[in-house]
Chain A
């Protein structure tokens, strides 16, 4: 009996571990793709290796085709029903030859898709093409609703630690409050009992002086208190004056929720990909929307795993839709409508007009990382001002930064003279004159 009991417990424990394992949800998320690969292809009447087809499709076709959605080229699902196999072989291997030869079907599709020529793929064999066709002819996978909810549940579990501390604190506060109320009530009842029983509660009659009078009469205490008060007060007053006009931490709500974390962090896109003018001009430009469309022409929705606890996939997809709306892109026809609505981004970093700052000078000439001033942007879901952008902050960096003069003829002579003057091997920006007033204020 005892033995079976422990076995049962063990089983229960195992089950518990199995279900509480976060990777379980991930397995579930992965499983549809496994199913995709194993689904019999016979349904479409095609023989071909689906997984090999997927690889080929992703590397060669996916730039212009999607299986179930129109992209630059038509959606490919169902293509084997529309066209004969031989026709497809020759079309894929060299479509432009067919158009020139005047094949009516070929010419029609060329006209329909804005005369965009499909690349020739002479390297594909007939069996390669069979594999690709087998892949695109798979039935469309059902929307992954179940998976999404499981993912959300897993996310909930993952965030449990953060929530639980708050809950515990809340409960503690509640218990404290309850105790206070109980104490007050007990006190009240006891007093009432005492009154009812005719017991006179002795009031603590003060015979001595009140405490504040004693305090005032003690000169030493008064002086010490005044000094402390003045010190604390001036500390706060100083802090108050020093933050006037400083926008550190400023994180306004932007018209489109653009996540630097997803773009620069997760996907590792270089800062200068979008802010290209930081290399060559005073301004680090806000990228115009055509730069967004370099990628978002083909990324109309985020992957399910991009969604976080705070921001759902629907939310992110909505933000991409805002971009399409602003730039005038119609995803259904894959073309620009010409109706543009400029996005009113809110400027975050703004130096006062009295100070001059040039991005290219710092980014290209000095080779400073963007993060040095802008902080860990690649971790920011919402962009905020990291540095105070005060003069003291600029000067501190100019004093510390060693100028890299290696292999730069421009600096050769000045380095020789200055290093002799200061008696140092490496020069800081300040020694090069980066503290001169006129460098930034003119």
Chain B
């Protein structure tokens, strides 16, 4: 009888020990020397930083590689100017539109709807209201105004500059223009052929953005090498 009791208590104790990792606390580690990073980890908490915060805003005036300033200001004049004159620097290719569609599905469709008619899931569930359709006459969106609004936000819509980069925003703009065309019942645009792209880039419409793209692809190659 006593040995049975001992057995039971041993089993019980080891069970308790094994289930020590409670839900609210981290489990303990054995020799965590190589577990803890020597360098500062993203979002880490270290005394050396103000507020103990490793996550910081970039130093004032610094820009990421390949970043180009956006020249239009976040006010009514800037909006009107962008709406009137700003054009998409990316060629209208299938690849760009598909990438734009994927990004649109992640960031925009939740409110603006898969068709761009302003009937996304959040609107249908009456969480967010008043999302206009892309063929709204009063707004009459253009490539420039779409980019401007994605960059700065407008009224209830927030800025998406933090979640997307310049190229991605322009890809989204391509897709939004497609959706607008579809809503207005206009025919689909033809994708640019390589010749057209070469001619179009030479014509200087793409301007600085072409250089920028070259820079970006160089960056990507670099990061690929790093990954490998």
Contact = CB atoms under 8 A, between A and B. Distances in A.
Interface of A: 58-65, 71-72, 115-117, 119-123, 211-212, 225, 229, 232-233, 236-237, 239-240, 243-253, 266-270, 272-273, 276, 280, 283, 285-286, 288, 290-291, 293-295, 297-299, 303, 342, 344-345, 347, 352-354, 358, 361, 384
Nearest to A225: B3
B76 A64 contact: no
B42 A283 contact: yes
6 contacts: A58-B129, A249-B23, A250-B23, A276-B163, A295-B127, A345-B43
A198 to B, nearest CB: 34
Contact of B35 (A211, A294, A354): A354
B14 A267 contact: no
A232 B9 CA distance: 13
Given A122-B138, A267-B121, A63 B155 contact: yes
Contact of A236 (B1, B15, B136): B15
Contacts, number: 166
A251 B130 contact: no
A78 B34 CA distance: 66
B3 to A, nearest CB: 8
A342 B14 contact: no
Contacts of B17: 240
A68 to B, nearest CB: 14
B163 A121 contact: no
Interface of B is mostly: loop
Interface in B158-182: 158-160, 162-165
A361 B228 CA distance: 10
B51 interface: yes
A299 B128 contact: yes
A273 B130 contact: no
B27 interface: yes
Given A117-B76, A290-B162, A354-B35, A59 B132 contact: yes
A252 B27 CA distance: 12
B193 interface: no
Contacts of A65: 130
Interface string B1-15: 111000100110011
A250 B126 contact: no
B36 interface: yes
A295 B130 contact: no
B138 A236 contact: no
Given A59-B118, A245-B27, A293-B158, A239 B18 contact: yes
B107 interface: yes
Interface string B186-222: 0000000000000000000000000000000000000
B10 A233 contact: yes
Interface in B90-145: 105-107, 110, 118, 121-122, 125-132, 136-139
Interface of A is mostly: loop
B62 interface: no
B30 A244 contact: yes
B155 A64 contact: yes
Given A236-B14, A361-B227, A291 B163 contact: yes
A353 B130 contact: no
Contacts of B137: 122-123
B162 A247 contact: no
Contacts of A119: 138-139
A246 B14 contact: no
Given A58-B129, A297-B158, A354 B34 contact: yes
Given A119-B139, A268-B110, A268-B121, A237 B14 contact: yes
A244 B29 contact: yes
Given A59-B118, A288-B162, A353-B34, A251 B51 contact: no
A297 B130 CA distance: 14
Contacts of B25: 250, 252
A78 B3 CA distance: 83
Contacts of A212: 1-3
A136 B137 CA distance: 24
A291 B162 CA distance: 8
Contacts of B36: 353
A299 B227 CA distance: 41
A226 to B, nearest CB: 11
Contact of B156 (A72, A211, A303, A361): A72
Interface in B7-66: 7, 10-11, 14-15, 17-18, 21, 23-30, 32, 34-38, 41-43, 45, 51, 53, 55
A252 B24 contact: yes
A256 to B, nearest CB: 15
